Amino acid sequence: MRKKVTVVGSGNVGATAAHWLASKEHADVVLIDIIEGVPQGKGLDLLQAMPIEKRDAYVLGTNDYADTANSDIVVITAGIPRKPGMSRDDLLNTNYKIMSDVVGKAVQYSPNCILIIVSNPLDAMAQAAYKQSGFSRNRVIGMAGILDSARFRAFIARELDVSVENVTAFVLGGHGDTMVPLPRYSTVAGIPITELMDKETIDRLVQRTRDGGAEIVKHLKTGSAYYAPSAAVAEMVESILKDKKKIVPCAAYLEGEYGINGLFIGVPCKLGSNGIEKIIEIKLTPEEQAALQKSADSVKELVSVIGV
């Protein structure tokens, strides 16, 4: 029996995630949204692409959560973007209500699934999903670290004119301005980038990574990134469904790791068939630890607004 992945939200991120998942033949995909017609149309379009791609993946668009029953993974991209005149707290509270509703329905039909949260503000929404679902912490994972690391990797590869396949990068912390890229743990063919670039260049790439999402929003004017975020989702899904046990940065609920308790923060995680199978603790310098704590404090502030 083929695996089944539900993607909640048929906007750019959700629909493109469905595209990656089906085109890589990772699973059958259910694309669900409250908007009538859009998931059905996009699902049908994707289904009709499969013979061309030579992929045996079934794609279904729907408005009915009954169609999502017994999903192995539920990816949640639903939520609204911040609009002019809307405060951060308004956005938080609105998306918290959407997340609570979506998680309740998804868990009702797929009580054994693993949840991957993509909705923003990501760390706070992952925390909301964790509390709403009642799942153990290994089954609720936030997607951010892979995306932020991929941005860092792309910039490093361009700067050094090397293959992206040679580049590894680690970005810890919350998904936002306080994320913590770690140059010491970022390498090209095993060589730390601190040996290949001067501090000024590294600092420039670190800042561009932090501003990665904002840079794209600035270009697009309306809307935000969706190709790379959805590709990051596909990598997480693959590692879980194929039990690959990849170590990748994800937002995970910490219970004392890195000196942080009771918050979702981006850290290196081993992803396998049980979701997060291990949180990897790496040694940080005092400066790096302070930056991570600052990031955690900013997540804590968001979480306190919605009371989770």
pLDDT of residue 163: 98
Count the neighbouring beta carbons within 10 Å of the beta carbon of residue 195.
8
**Nearest-angstrom CA–CA distance, 263 and 260:** 7
**Residue 109 — pLDDT band, cuts 50, 70, 90?**
very high
User: What is the per-residue pLDDT for 190?
Assistant: 96
Q: Cα–Cα distance between 77 and 83 in angstroms, integer?
A: 17
Provide the pLDDT for residue 91: 83
Please tell me the predicted confidence (pLDDT) of residue 175.
Answer: 84
The residue type found at 14 is G
Q: Which is it for strands 4-8 and 73-76: parallel, antiparallel or unpaired?
A: parallel
Tell me what pLDDT residue 98 has.
96
User: Residue 129: what residue type?
Assistant: A
pLDDT in tens, 199-215: 999 999 999 999 998 89
Residues 114-142 have a mean pLDDT of: 96
What are the pLDDT digits (tens) for 227-253? 999 999 999 999 999 999 999 999 999
CA dist 20 and 12 (Å) reads 12
In this prediction, residue 111 carries a pLDDT of: 98
User: Which percentage of the chain shows pLDDT scores above 90?
Assistant: 90
CATH architecture assigned to 145-306: Alpha-Beta Complex (3.90)
pLDDT of amino acid 90:
82
Residue spans of the domains in the chain: they are: 4-142, 145-306
Average pLDDT rounded to a whole number, residues 25-35: 97
Share of the chain above pLDDT 70, in %: 99
- In this prediction, residue 1 carries a pLDDT of 82
134 band by pLDDT with thresholds 50, 70 and 90: very high
165-187 pLDDT tens trace = 999 998 999 887 889 999 999 99
Tell me the average pLDDT of the chain.
Answer: 95
Q: Is the pLDDT of residue 41 over 90?
A: yes
Q: What is the pLDDT of residue 295?
A: 94
Superfamily of domain 4-142: NAD(P)-binding Rossmann-like Domain (3.40.50.720)
Active site residue 175: yes
Q: Which of 155, 122, 131, 156 is nearest to 249 (CA)?
A: 122
User: What is the mean predicted confidence (pLDDT) over 123-128?
Assistant: 96
Tens of pLDDT, residue by residue over 76-101, are 999 987 766 767 778 899 999 999 99
Q: Could you report the per-residue pLDDT of 12-24, keeping only the tens digit for each? A: 999 999 999 999 9
